[in-house]
Amino acid sequence: MDETHVVTAFLMEQGKVLLLRRSNRVGTYRGAWAGISGFVERKPVEQAYLELEEEVGLSKRDCVLQKSGKPLRVRDEALQRLWVIHPFLFQKISPRPVRLDWEHKEYRWICPWTIDTFSGVPGLTEALHAVLPLFPPEIQEGKSLLQKDTASGAMEMATKAVEIFSEVARHHFKPSSDYFEKLRFWAHQLAMARPSMAPVGNALGSIILTLRTHQKAQPENFGSPSPLLHLISTIRQELDASRKKAAKQLVQILKPFSCVITLSRSSTLLAAFRSIRKRHRQAIVAESRPLFEGRDTAKALAELGFSVTLIADAALAYHITQADVAVVGADALLADGSVVNKIGSHLLALAAREKGIPFYVGCEEYKRYPATEVSAFPFETANPREIFAHKIPNLVVHNQYFEAIPAHLITRIITDQGEFSPADIGRLAQKSPPPVVALQHPFQEEESFPESPGQNQHPS
């Protein structure tokens, strides 16, 4: 992988940051938003001043260097390029207008906390954060906590994310023109810590959606943190209620069957199993490598009184002959009717189809995700050392945590709102986008400046 050093200079004026949209005449990332950038051909700070002059027509007399950040390393697998980004922050001090060169076709002065809503070059948000801190340390600590948690299910992870967000919102409450934009940005950062777990983004998105509605209707009520914290607490309670409702719905579906086969660990499924333990006496559970959370499920079912057989993931097809129903939880429901869950779920669905037994998914509508096809879903990968710790030439270890179950292999999807076919989920997505979408758009709309090199335009 080639290593390439570049500078990225951010220009500020009146609290706004300048973003440039790359033209179709550049070699990479056409149409993407970026800072003022260029290849390093001299000292990075000297290169940054040169790019300011070439790309926006500003000299050293027009701007002052405020901060230089530590270089960032950003990998682009598609280009097989390792970018080493040298970030800088400048303050514009003259009335001289921005004048674009051929490398860019548009510019905007934006609130810094909306940078994540732009389709940018790789590492854009991280580069700005390196010179203009965008989130408090608690957000980074929260992201790290969520990323390291490999035991909790998706709904449990959502609850933890909401609790982290509540503490950050309380501790950093400061009524200002950009406070609510900061909240949206911080929520988005937490959601991106576990992108494959849809409830995390949907729970945080629900908070932002509700806050947007209430703050617009009654802005005077948000002079203290109490209304905000009450709102967050309400979403937290809704998470718990939806899990209980989904489990109750699932109980009715599983009643007629005598032996269930499943894998991994789902708090929703476990809640359902607690209610049917007197009727269900047999369960087959795959151990769910590489972290074996299926063992926790098997142990929990045994303690509930089930007669449990714990098996290797590769033995699913062999043991499914003993089961009369297959059921799994879910990490995400996609708009095309497919379901994302722990790796091995697709194999179980295939085995169920071959055996001719129903394959159910039990989950909450908090798990809806806006992707209309599997290729658009952000599948997480994990540390290869969880599978094989040794480095051997010509050996690549890939540790995939999640996979999609095609819609045609799913009998029904059982949620807190009822029983649905995969096609029903797609129709629901068209009528009502999942709440996570709220995190991807500014809390308040930004002002846009089209390309106009001959006119002096200032941020408002």
The separation between CA 48 and the C-alpha centre of its own chain, rounded to angstroms, equals 32
SS3 163: helix
The answer to whether the bond into 122 is cis (omega within 30° of 0) is no
d(CA 455, CA 205): 38
Rg (CA), the chain: 25
d(CA 272, CA 260): 12
- Amino acid 115 reads I
- The yes-or-no answer on residue 331 being catalytic is yes
**Beta strands 282-286; 307-311: pairing state:** parallel
d(CA 287, CA 285): 6
SS3 399: strand
**Catalytic residue (choose from 331, 336, 416, 424):** 331
SS3 151: coil
Two structure tokens written together for 434: 């999942």
**Percent helix, percent strand, percent coil in the chain, to nearest 5:** 40, 25, 35
d(CA 135, CA 58): 29
Catalytic residue positions, numbered: 331
